[in-house]
């Protein structure tokens, strides 16, 4: 999550993303419920906890009248400007803004600890359709994406974590070993339809 560094310090933030249902956060939070990463988080929450916990969190967070955005970048900009004080975002947007605007940019990242669902580390995946007419070209592209060259690009230019052993992360990033991620098999995040149903039932979507 990102926070406004003038309004808040890390010590002001709750230990768990689940605690943002506290009324003290009313009107201070932003999210992008149509964004795939937010939906992946809700899916993970359904797996890590139980369906009812995810439902209660969605209902509680909405009761705090959080602000909807189209995607992560305007959330981050809203945090930096003070429009909101906390935003649920992917980590790498901040580093792109810091590169463009310098250390004076008004937002910083916070990583919940103790295996909290808010510290979920997700992966970007790629696959080849078995109906593809260009499977050889697709496989060549996949091989390129997993090459040291491409992985170094992702690390250096997009501030993402490389998947290939030996490719160093960007020095600006927190090491994965220092992020206390939830204990979850990402292969279990396969029920997107169930998450979309829950988001509709709770009138998030």
Q: What is the pLDDT of residues 105-114, one digit of tens each?
A: 999 999 998 8
The count of other CB atoms within 10 Å of the CB of residue 1 is: 22
In terms of domains, do 116 and 57 share one? yes
In terms of domains, do 98 and 190 share one? yes
In terms of domains, do 142 and 54 share one? no
In terms of domains, do 151 and 191 share one? no
Cα–Cα distance measured from residue 113 to residue 177, given in angstroms and rounded to the nearest whole number: 12
- How many domains is the chain partitioned into structurally? 2
Average pLDDT, the chain: 93
Domain of residue 168, residue span: 122-178
In terms of domains, do 27 and 101 share one? yes
In terms of domains, do 192 and 172 share one? no
Closest Cα to residue 57, out of 123, 116, 121?
116
What is residue 22's DSSP assignment? S
Confidence category of residue 125, pLDDT binned at 50, 70, 90: confident
pLDDT digits (tens, 9 = 90+) for 43-74: 999 999 889 999 999 999 999 999 999 999 99
Residues with Cβ within 8 Å of residue 108, at least 6 apart in sequence: 2, 3, 5, 94
In terms of domains, do 192 and 91 share one? yes
Residues with Cβ within 8 Å of residue 109, at least 6 apart in sequence: 1, 2, 3, 91, 94, 174
In terms of domains, do 71 and 88 share one? yes
In terms of domains, do 73 and 151 share one? no
Provide the whole-model pTM.
0.89
CATH number assigned to the domain comprising residue 85: 3.40.190.10
In terms of domains, do 99 and 25 share one? yes
For 67-118, give the DSSP string.
EE-SSHHHHHHHHHHTS-SEE---THHHHHHHHHH-TT-SEEE----TT-GG
In terms of domains, do 148 and 188 share one? no
pLDDT digits (tens, 9 = 90+) for 132-156: 899 999 999 999 999 999 999 999 9
In terms of domains, do 36 and 114 share one? yes
Residue 184 exposed, middle or buried by CB count within 10 Å (0-12, 13-18, 19+): middle
Closest Cα to residue 40, out of 90, 93, 92?
90
């Amino acid at each position: 999550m990102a926070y406004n560094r003038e309004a808040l310090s890390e010590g002001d933030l709750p230990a768990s993303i689940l605690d943002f249902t506290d009324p003290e956060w009313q009107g201070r939070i932003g999210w992008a419920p149509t964004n795939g990463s937010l939906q992946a988080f809700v899916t993970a929450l359904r797996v890590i906890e139980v369906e009812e916990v995810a439902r209660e969190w969605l209902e509680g967070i909405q009761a705090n009248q959080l602000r909807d955005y189209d995607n992560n970048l305007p959330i981050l900009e809203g945090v930096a400007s003070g429009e909101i004080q906390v935003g649920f975002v992917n980590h790498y947007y901040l580093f792109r803004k810091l590169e463009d605007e310098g250390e004076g940019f008004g937002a910083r990242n916070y990583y919940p600890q103790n295996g909290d669902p808010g510290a979920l580390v997700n992966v970007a995946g790629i696959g080849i359709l078995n109906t593809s007419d260009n499977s050889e070209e697709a496989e060549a592209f996949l091989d390129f994406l997993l090459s040291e060259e491409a992985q170094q690009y992702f690390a250096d230019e997009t501030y993402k974590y490389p998947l290939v052993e030996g490719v160093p992360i960007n020095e600006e990033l927190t090491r994965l070993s220092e992020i206390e991620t939830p204990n979850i098999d990402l292969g279990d995040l396969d029920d997107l339809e169930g998450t979309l149903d829950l988001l509709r039932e709770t009138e998030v979507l």
